[in-house]
């Protein structure tokens, strides 16, 4: 996206207090001077004072007040003249108008500059719309939070997964934000949704064999559940690459919700439980085999008893049953011969 408008910061306009003082002083002088001039039949001074009384307020239209981390993009008859930044009491050409096409849009959970009118609608992405007053066209330069609604996305294995992401962002170039896209807040919200879908579909929900998530042609152990920091970083980079031309900076991105979709959540829970049981049994069997090997080695070392292969097999079978069984074994005492 190539910008055709360069941001221009307006400096030296913090004279709002002086202009306000002069306008008020003008009225304080105009009223008594008009009364005196009419009494002395000085029509020229009377007309001048009358004109000022009826039009002097027009200079107040050029007064602008900004708080810290706020900006105002000004246009004059459709032409961009500059941006006011920083806190202070400013005075600009009264014919200049503030322009911000996203003034009536508020993102979900965002510390945005609030419009003065009542919100009338909210879309599925958590973006609120309102008929903002014409005078409220300030652009917030603070770090704000976008928390779109949960999305249902298929992971690399085709399993439906619900994901929600919180994105911290701010405006860095007011000219690009205002003039390069129709509504930079809606644009950001859409790009966040798209980036989440593009990145999530690369990863499995859990660690899976033979899945390449890095694009290097080799399988790895990346997953949505186990590599949340990596996934969030890729989502952040993906969004930044799309919104740089709109004068926006993505400060950070975090996954706030991650779960299987409800329609497969129960089946996946059973699968995880079965996998856990298999892993536990494998660990028990490995331990039991080691204990049997240790028992046979100790018997051979001490020459406690000489066992043929058939008796060794029976002993191994009995020990494995005892060590791997879910219940306590009931021993049978042999009071006869060894065999």
Tens digit of pLDDT for each residue in 80-101?
999 999 888 999 999 999 998 8
Per-residue pLDDT band at 275 (split at 50, 70, 90): low
Mean pLDDT rounded to a whole number for the chain: 80
pLDDT score for 116:
47
**Spatial CA neighbour of 238 closest among 275, 190, 171:** 190
Percent of the chain surpassing pLDDT 70: 76
Predicted local confidence at residue 76, as pLDDT: 92
Per-residue pLDDT at 338 exceeds 60:
no
pLDDT at 121 > cutoff 50: no
Question: What pLDDT score does 290 carry?
Answer: 79
pLDDT confidence of residue 174: 92
pLDDT band per the 50, 70, 90 thresholds, residue 22? very high
- Average pLDDT value for residue range 97-119: 67
DSSP track, 240-282: HHHHGGGTEEEEEEEEEEEEE-HHHHHHHHHHHHHHHHHHHHH
Judged against a pLDDT cut of 60, whether residue 32 lies above it is answered with yes
Residues 6+ apart with CB under 8 A from 260: 159, 160, 161, 162, 205, 268
CA 296 – CA 319 distance, rounded (Å): 11
Res. 154: pLDDT tops 90 = no
The pTM (predicted TM-score) of the whole model is 0.70
Predicted pLDDT at 187: 92
CA distance 136 to 211: 51
pLDDT at 252: 93
pLDDT at 170 over 50: yes
* Residues 128-152 pLDDT 10s: 555 444 347 889 899 998 888 888 8
Instruction: Supply the pLDDT for residue 16.
Output: 87
Please indicate whether residue 323 or residue 163 has the higher confidence score (pLDDT).
Answer: 163
Cα(173)–Cα(85) distance, integer angstroms: 11
Output b/e per residue, 71-83; b: 16+ Cβ within 10 A.
bbbbbeeeebbbb
Distance between CA 68 and CA 330 in Å, rounded? 80
Q: Which of 222-226, 249-253, 257-261 has the highest mean pLDDT?
A: 249-253
**% of the chain at pLDDT higher than 90:** 25
144-260, what's its fold?
Tetrahydropterin Synthase; Chain A (3.30.479)
User: What mean pLDDT is predicted for residues 216-240?
Assistant: 85
What is the per-residue pLDDT for 239? 94
Residue ranges, comma separated, of all CATH 3.30.479.30 domains in the chain are: 144-260
Residue 212's pLDDT is 73
More confident residue, 305 or 192: 192
């Amino acid at each position: 996206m190539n910008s055709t408008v360069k941001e221009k910061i307006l400096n030296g306009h913090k004279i709002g207090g002086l202009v306000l003082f002069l306008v008020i002083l003008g009225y304080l002088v105009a009223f008594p001077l008009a009364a005196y001039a009419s009494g002395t039949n000085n029509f020229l001074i009377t007309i001048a004072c009358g004109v000022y009384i009826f039009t002097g307020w027009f200079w107040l239209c050029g007064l602008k007040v900004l708080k810290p981390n706020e900006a105002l993009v000004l246009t004059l008859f459709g032409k961009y003249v500059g941006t006011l930044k920083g806190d202070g009491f400013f005075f600009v050409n009264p014919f200049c108008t503030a322009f911000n096409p996203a003034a009536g849009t508020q993102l979900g959970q965002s510390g945005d500059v609030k419009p003065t009118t009542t919100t009338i609608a909210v879309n599925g992405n958590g973006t609120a719309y309102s008929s903002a007053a014409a005078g409220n066209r300030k652009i917030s330069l603070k770090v704000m939070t976008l928390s779109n609604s949960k999305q249902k996305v298929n992971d690399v294995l085709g399993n439906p997964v619900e994901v929600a992401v919180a994105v911290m962002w701010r405006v860095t170039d007011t000219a690009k934000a205002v003039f390069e896209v129709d509504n930079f807040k809606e644009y950001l919200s859409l790009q966040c949704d798209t980036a989440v879908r593009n990145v999530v579909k690369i990863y499995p929900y859990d660690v899976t064999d033979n899945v390449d998530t890095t694009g290097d042609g080799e399988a790895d152990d990346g997953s949505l559940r186990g590599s949340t920091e990596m996934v969030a970083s890729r989502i952040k980079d993906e969004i930044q690459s799309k919104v740089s031309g709109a004068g926006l900076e993505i400060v950070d991105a975090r996954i706030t919700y991650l779960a299987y979709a409800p329609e497969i959540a129960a089946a996946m829970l059973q699968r995880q439980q079965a996998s856990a049981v298999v892993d536990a049994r494998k660990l028990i069997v490995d331990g039991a085999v080691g204990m049997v090997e240790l028992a046979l080695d100790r018997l051979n070392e001490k020459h406690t008893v000489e066992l043929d292969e058939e008796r060794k097999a029976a002993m191994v079978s009995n020990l494995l049953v005892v060590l791997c069984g879910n219940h306590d074994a009931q021993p049978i005492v042999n009071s006869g011969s060894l065999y």
